Amino acid sequence: MTLPLAEPEALAPGTLRVTPLGGLGEVGRNMTIFEYDGKILVVDCGVLFPEEHQPGVDLILPDFEPIKDRLDDIVGVVLTHGHEDHIGAVPYLLRLKGDIPLIGSGLTLALVEAKLKEHRIKPFTLTVKEGQREQVGPFDLEFVAVNHSIPDALAVAIRTPAGMVLATGDFKMDQLPLDGRITDLRAFARLGEEGVDLFLVDSTNADVPGFTPTERSIGPVLDQVIGKAPRRVIVASFSSHVHRVQQVIDAAHAHGRRVAFLGRSMVRNMTIAEQLGYLKVPDGVLIDYKKARDLPDDQIVYMSTGSQGEPMAVLSRMANLDHAIEPGPGDTVILASSLIPGNENAVYRVIDGLTKLGANVVHKANARVHVSGHAAAGELIYCYNILKPKNVLPVHGEYRHLIANAKLAQDTGIDEERTIVGSNGTVIDLKDGVARVSGQLDIGFVYVDGSTVGEITDADLKDRRILGEEGFVSVIVVVDSTTGRIISGPEIHARGVAEDDSVFDDVAPKIVAALKEAASNGVRDNHALSQIVRRTIGRWVNQKLRRRPMIVPLVIEA
């Protein structure tokens, strides 16, 4: 729910202020700021990937506006794990102030540092691990191991004199994880005994009953699919899903196949994971993809990006025959990921394209080739019962997920007034065990479009959609600056509206008549004449062609 805009009151002494800048009402661009005693702690700084109604946009960032004038007050950025929706916006924050300290686990910081290197930023970092406590400004931080679909994920307990906050980041409770690193429920229980005043909890799977299946259940399925594949195998996954890549490498090795990584982020991230020991690669299994093309088809597995149907990612380019690897009959393509909400159409287009080329496409709907990295309802209830938090703020999810999570909290006995379903920009003040909404900031979308950041507006995107869906009409008229008489035109050109410009012959006399009437009434202002042209042709196109194109009138005085 979006609360009415209301500037928050001045922060009272001894009060902790919590403001999500992204991640509520959406799956992505997670970022929350904590303020106490004039200092700010940031938890996560991620990106959101654009949907079809945002053409041309590369990334969507959290809105930094509330902290732009207070960058010197930021004592650190805690990064819970290395997924793009939690770390992808870090370069854009550090562009504003490059010496803000980054705090996270070894793998998380290695992935961030590699990303920052591309932006030519060398960060200040503090590597932490589970069980560690650090004092950062007025914030006493304790890090807790949590299990997720990337290694080295951490929850963070934030202690201040106003109370303790526990932010889970993304997590689940896989009891048989591939790396043996489980969510530390003993630490959760200890924190619960101490008293959790505010619980910020992952909501992505709050509307999914039961428990998320274990990662180990995927291994045998991948082994079977790869073992039976007659020709090449192409597996698409998130470029940071180390566990899934490990399972693919193990299955490929077991069936005498070699593995080639495709996609810049896949190569970069897996190189880091192998160097740090999170990815175990048997000798001789990896091969450069250019050399892999010389191998027999039944001896290679390609591990690629593009599982979300991203237009420029490897898998989409393969489906469009715009890549050196061209799938065909007998090839097997495995989409080893779940669908991020909003990406469904793009993913199914890729599946259709690959199927038309003759490939056998295996995905979550027809085989268990992926399990989620997020806790389902049963796991969340378990956490609520262990922690017994005084207040709950569901985060990381669309509104249906946030509401489902709040309902789970209430089912375990937490009062409805203590479960806050907010939105980006909701300002929550915590003191004496009570969390209350004290305001609502106006939080917008910040679009990265090529080399520009924040310059593209929603109005620009609306224009792009109109251009793409309805077409473009330009009208050029030359008028006498003294009399208003038409000297030349109207000259009408269109793109994406009709096959031939001659269709506009019927409307030209109407434009002439409208301008003559305006001239007789003494109208000489260029803008006013342009609006007359716009309205005249706009009504005609809408009535005759049933279209609403972008209309650009150009009235030239001579």
Instruction: Identify the domain boundary among 334, 362, 390.
Output: 362
pLDDT band at residue 69 using 50, 70 and 90 as cut-offs: very high
390 has pLDDT over 70: yes
489 part of a folded domain: yes
H or E stretch covering 134: strand 133-136
User: Does 480 participate in catalysis according to the annotation?
Assistant: no
User: Does 374 participate in catalysis according to the annotation?
Assistant: yes
Residues 407 and 263 in one domain: no
Q: What span, in angstroms and rounded, lies between the C-alpha atoms of 552 and 29?
A: 36
- The answer to whether 396 is a known ligand-binding residue is yes
pLDDT at 378: 95
453 part of a folded domain: no
Domain span at residue 512 reads 458-557
Query: Residue 452 contacts by C-beta under 8 Å, 6 or more apart in sequence?
Result: none
pLDDT band at residue 44 using 50, 70 and 90 as cut-offs: very high
Report the pLDDT averaged over residues 332-354.
79
Query: Residue 78 contacts by C-beta under 8 Å, 6 or more apart in sequence?
Result: 41, 42, 43, 44, 103, 104, 141, 156
pLDDT at 499: 60
Q: What are the beta bridge partners of residue 143?
A: 156
Report the pLDDT averaged over residues 300-305.
90
Domain total of the chain = 3
Report the pLDDT averaged over residues 45-65.
75
Which range has highest mean pLDDT (25-34, 136-145, 255-264, 334-343)?
Answer: 136-145
pLDDT band at residue 4 using 50, 70 and 90 as cut-offs: low
- The answer to whether 401 is a known ligand-binding residue is no
- The answer to whether 493 is a known ligand-binding residue is no
454 has pLDDT over 60: no
94 part of a folded domain: yes
119 part of a folded domain: yes
7 part of a folded domain: no
Q: What span, in angstroms and rounded, lies between the C-alpha atoms of 326 and 293?
A: 11
Q: Which two tokens stand for residue 364?
A: 């979550």
170 has pLDDT over 80: yes
Cα 150 to the center of its chain, rounded Å: 16
CATH code: domain of residue 533: 3.10.20.580
- The answer to whether 119 is a known ligand-binding residue is no
CB 304 within 8 A of CB 275: no
pLDDT band at residue 50 using 50, 70 and 90 as cut-offs: low
447 part of a folded domain: no
**Greater confidence, 334 or 515?**
334
Give residue for tokens 């950025």: 77
pLDDT band at residue 342 using 50, 70 and 90 as cut-offs: low
57 has pLDDT over 70: no
Percent of the chain exceeding pLDDT 90 equals 51
DSSP letters, 196-256, are: -SEEEEE-TBTTS-S-PPPGGGHHHHHHHHHHH-SS-EEEE--TT-HHHHHHHHHHHHHTT
Residues 106 and 198 in one domain: yes
Residues 60 and 198 in one domain: yes
Report the pLDDT averaged over residues 132-151.
96
- The answer to whether 85 is a known ligand-binding residue is yes
pLDDT band at residue 466 using 50, 70 and 90 as cut-offs: low
pLDDT at 141: 98
Q: What span, in angstroms and rounded, lies between the C-alpha atoms of 80 and 461?
A: 32
pLDDT band at residue 346 using 50, 70 and 90 as cut-offs: confident
Least confident interval from 16-20, 137-141, 259-263, 363-367: 363-367
538 part of a folded domain: yes
pLDDT at 52: 60
CB 273 within 8 A of CB 105: no
pLDDT at 263: 85
237 part of a folded domain: yes
Reply yes or no: is the peptide bond before residue 509 cis, omega within 30 of 0.
Answer: no
Instruction: Identify the domain boundary among 335, 362, 389.
Output: 362
Residues 74 and 91 in one domain: yes
Which range has highest mean pLDDT (237-251, 258-272, 407-421, 513-527)?
Answer: 407-421
pLDDT at 460: 61
pLDDT band at residue 287 using 50, 70 and 90 as cut-offs: very high
**Greater confidence, 463 or 476?**
476
Residues 356 and 377 in one domain: no
CATH code: domain of residue 101: 3.60.15.10
Least confident interval from 38-47, 76-85, 140-149, 525-534: 525-534
**Greater confidence, 390 or 340?**
390
CB-facing half-sphere around the CA of 128: CA atoms within 13 A: 28
pLDDT at 163: 95
Residues 376 and 276 in one domain: no
Residues 38 and 156 in one domain: yes
pLDDT band at residue 306 using 50, 70 and 90 as cut-offs: confident
Cα 457 to the center of its chain, rounded Å: 18
- The answer to whether 58 is a known ligand-binding residue is yes
Least confident interval from 56-70, 208-222, 460-474: 460-474
pLDDT at 351: 84
Q: Please provide the average confidence, as pLDDT, over all residues in the chain.
A: 87
Residues 59 and 194 in one domain: yes
Query: Residue 369 contacts by C-beta under 8 Å, 6 or more apart in sequence?
Result: 218, 221, 222, 225, 334, 335, 336, 362, 363
pLDDT at 468: 59
Residue 195 — left, alpha, or beta (φ > 0 → left; ψ -120 to 50 → alpha)? left
- The answer to whether 170 is a known ligand-binding residue is yes
524 has pLDDT over 90: no
Residues 481 and 551 in one domain: yes
pLDDT at 311: 67
- The answer to whether 451 is a known ligand-binding residue is no
Residues 186 and 238 in one domain: no
Residues 274 and 393 in one domain: no
Q: Which two tokens stand for residue 534?
A: 């716009």
- The answer to whether 217 is a known ligand-binding residue is no
Active-site hit among 174, 207, 243, 374: 374
Residues 28 and 42 in one domain: yes
Instruction: Identify the domain boundary among 362, 393, 421.
Output: 362
What pairing do the DSSP bridges indicate for beta strands 360-362 and 392-395? unpaired
Active-site hit among 44, 197, 202, 429: 202
Phi, psi of 217 (to 5 degrees): -70, -15
CATH code: domain of residue 272: 3.40.50.10710
